[in-house]
Amino acid sequence: MSPSVDLEVVVDPAIHAKHPDYVALVLVASGVGNGATDAESDARLVEAEAAVRAAGLERAADHPHIASWRAAFSAFGSKPSKYPSSAEALIGRVLKGGELPRVNVLVDLYNSVSVHRVVPLGGEDADRLEGALRLTVAEGGEPFDPRGDGSDVEAVPAGEVVWRDDRGVTCRRWNWRQGRRTQLTEATSRAFFVFDRLDGLAVEDLRAAADDLSQLLVERWPDCHLHLVERCAP
């Protein structure tokens, strides 16, 4: 893949046919670094945890954006109580008295924005992607390698909404679980971050979430280059 910040992002028309309110923002960042959780990234997560606790939600599902994601998951046959969207999983963890996971700097930063803005948000290594990044409806049998070593490859069932590239599925159930093949590691220097939006979150708030992460990345890596791609219903 070219070292350019550009990334081809394709959303299957079938997704917008079923979910005309869906908007994807993909932020591509080149010239970034990564490393173990540090004081700065930990502080962002602490702020995000405090914001969740101050929001007055009893359950993550009480937020209208989370409710829309639960309905979308149910529509393609995934029980949201078993397979929550990434934002619901993080917010629910905090509301139950837990802490947000400390993974590495890049993951910590995007998780803090996800929780603050109540938006499903994932990040992956752009240089590990093979071909275009595509959101589509699985035909059935597409490979998903959760461990990244080929030891436990899953066949995705037909009808599931997935992110994928030419090699296979990179994220199952829209934004429920990412595979390890494209995960952000300490070797990552070019990353992409996917912001998912349905009804219950204003498009302006989705863009504000992308602005938040952009600011965090530039503060950390002043010479990084950012490129934003937006995909919405035609």
Q: Which amino acid belongs to residue 176?
A: W
Q: Taking Cα atoms as reference points, which of 163, 171, 206 lies closest to residue 22? A: 206
pLDDT tens figures, 126-141: 999 999 999 999 999 9
Residue 1 included in any domain: no
Task: Answer whether residue 5 shows pLDDT above 70.
Answer: no
Write the pLDDT tens digit of every residue in 143-191: 998 877 777 889 999 999 999 999 999 999 999 999 999 999 999 999 9
Of the candidate ranges 95-104, 142-151, 179-188, 206-215, the one whose mean pLDDT is the lowest = 142-151
> Could you tell me the CA-to-CA distances from 124 to 71, 127, 200, 225 in Å, in that order?
26, 9, 25, 16
User: Tokens 């997704």 identify what position?
Assistant: 15
Is 232:15 a contact under the CB 8 Å cutoff?
no
Total domain count for the chain?
1
pLDDT surpassing 90 at residue 79: yes
H or E stretch including 124? strand 121-125
Is position 3 within any domain?
Answer: no
Q: What pLDDT is attached to residue 147?
A: 79
pLDDT at 6: 74
Q: Running DSSP on this structure, what letter comes out for residue 89?
A: H
Within a domain: 153:
yes
What CATH number did the domain enclosing 224 receive? 3.50.40.10
* Contact in structure between 190 and 128 (CB atoms under 8 Å): no
138 inside domain: yes
Range of the domain at 78: 9-232
The pLDDT, as a whole number, for residue 1 is 32
- Structure-block tokens of residue 183: 């995960």
The sign of the CA dihedral 142, 83, 108, 218 is positive
Asked, for residue 179, whether it belongs to a domain, the answer is: yes
Residue 4 maps to a domain:
no
Could you count the other beta carbons within 10 Å of the beta carbon of residue 95?
16
Tokens standing for residue 157: 């069932």
Is pTM, for the whole model, over 0.85?
A: yes
Q: What pLDDT digit, counting tens, does each position of 53-69 carry?
A: 999 999 999 999 999 99
Domain assignment present for residue 2? The answer is no
Instruction: Output the pLDDT for position 146.
Output: 84
